[in-house]
Amino acid sequence: MSRQIIVGNWKMNGTTRDSKALVQAISGGVKAEGPDVVICPPFTQLSLAASQLEGTSVRLGAQDCHKAASGAYTGDISPAMLTDLGVSHVILGHSERRQGHGELDETVREKAVAAAKAGLTPVVCIGETEDQRESGDHFDVLGWQIKGSLPDDFSGILAYEPIWAIGTGRAATTEEIAETMVFLRQELVRQFAENGKKVRILYGGSVNNENAASILSIPEVAGALVGGASLKPDAFLSIIHAASAS
């Protein structure tokens, strides 16, 4: 079994002082024999984080990128700009981008292609709303998101985040996660054949230090995409250590 990966998504949080302290606390507590660890600060703190992570095993990620390498796109960041800063991973298609910025599956797919071309590992997010799950349409929704958001030669990471669990403190049950993970793997294999067996699948959505061990022990869960808890060093390190134990 390959090493699990824990990705911390800081979202729109982190002044210079806070970010410096957080990076130091996390990198100082990560053990080399543990899981792969990626932290994703806001764009404004990437340079600072990159300098602090030199010589550590913690990798640097970003929270989004544009599909173009450069150009007249005010306020956007290109994949090449991220690699220039030492970024190795990039989160794409998070529900907060899809819902708050109107990003479509096609947009996410184009970004994933551009990210991979620049040498980044795309972490592509998918997930259903509460209404879609309650109506029984969630597997159809997830299947279409995979088909629309992942390029044919996708070799990145898939992150399953039920929208109704993000930031609510209400994680999906282990039974719900296990059932969904089986479906996602089957769907990846159906759509991408052998390549679909290699894609790592993360779970995200109110992962914390109390539920991490049970979530990370579920078959097919290759790690976690962590939101709020990644801003608390003790909680985030506890999740990382739970991955080591699993």
Q: What is the CATH number of the domain that holds 61?
A: 3.20.20.70
**Catalytic residue annotation:** 94, 161
Instruction: Say what the pLDDT of residue 167 is.
Output: 81
* Main-chain dihedrals φ then ψ at residue 113, nearest 5 degrees: -65, -45
Q: What percent of the chain has pLDDT over 90?
A: 93
pLDDT at 169: 82
Question: Cα–Cα distance between 240 and 34 in angstroms, integer?
Answer: 7
Q: Given a cut of 60, is residue 221 above it in pLDDT?
A: yes
Residue 210 predicted with pLDDT over 70: yes
pLDDT per residue as tens digits for the range 140-170 = 999 999 999 999 999 999 999 999 988 888 7
Give the containing element (helix H, strand E) for 202.
Answer: strand 200-204
Binding residue ranges: 9-11, 167, 206, 227-228
Share of the chain above pLDDT 70, in %: 100
What pTM does this model have? 0.96
Number of domains composing the chain: 1
Contact (CB, 8 A) for 93 and 125: yes
Confidence of residue 52 (pLDDT cuts 50, 70, 90): very high
Per-residue model confidence (pLDDT) at position 32: 84
What's the N-to-C CA distance of the chain in angstroms? 11
CA distance 35 to 52: 19
Annotated binding site for substrate, which residues? 9-11, 167, 206, 227-228
Rounded Cα distance between 40 and 217, Å, is: 24
Q: Which long-range contacts (CB under 8 A, 24 or more apart) does 24-27 make?
A: 24/52, 25/233, 25/237, 26/58, 26/233, 26/236, 26/237, 27/52, 27/53, 27/56, 27/58
* Rounded Cα–Cα distance for residues 135 and 128 (Å): 11
* 8, 91 Cβ separation under 8 angstroms: no
Q: Give pLDDT tens digits for 180-193.
A: 999 999 999 999 99
pLDDT band at 245 (very low <50, low <70, confident <90, very high): confident
Please give the structure tokens belonging to residue 92.
Answer: 């794409």
Q: Is pLDDT above 80 for 232?
A: yes
Provide the pairing of β-strand 5-9 with 200-204.
unpaired
Question: Is the model's pLDDT at 13 over the cut of 80?
Answer: yes
Question: pLDDT, tens digit, for every residue of 67-101?
Answer: 999 999 999 999 999 999 999 999 999 999 999 99
Q: Tell me, what's the pLDDT at 1?
A: 54
CA 13 remoteness from chain centre: 16
Confidence grade of residue 2 (pLDDT, cut at 50, 70, 90): confident
Q: What is the mean pLDDT of residues 204-211?
A: 94
Predicted confidence (pLDDT) at residue 21 exceeds the cutoff of 80: yes
Distance CA 126, CA 92 (A): 9
> Which ranges of 59-160 would DSSP assign to H, the alpha helix?
79-84, 95-101, 105-117, 130-134, 138-149
Task: Give the SS3 label for residue 237.
Answer: helix
21: left (phi over 0), alpha (psi -120 to 50) or beta: alpha
Position 170 scores a pLDDT of: 79
Give residue 235's domain range: 5-245
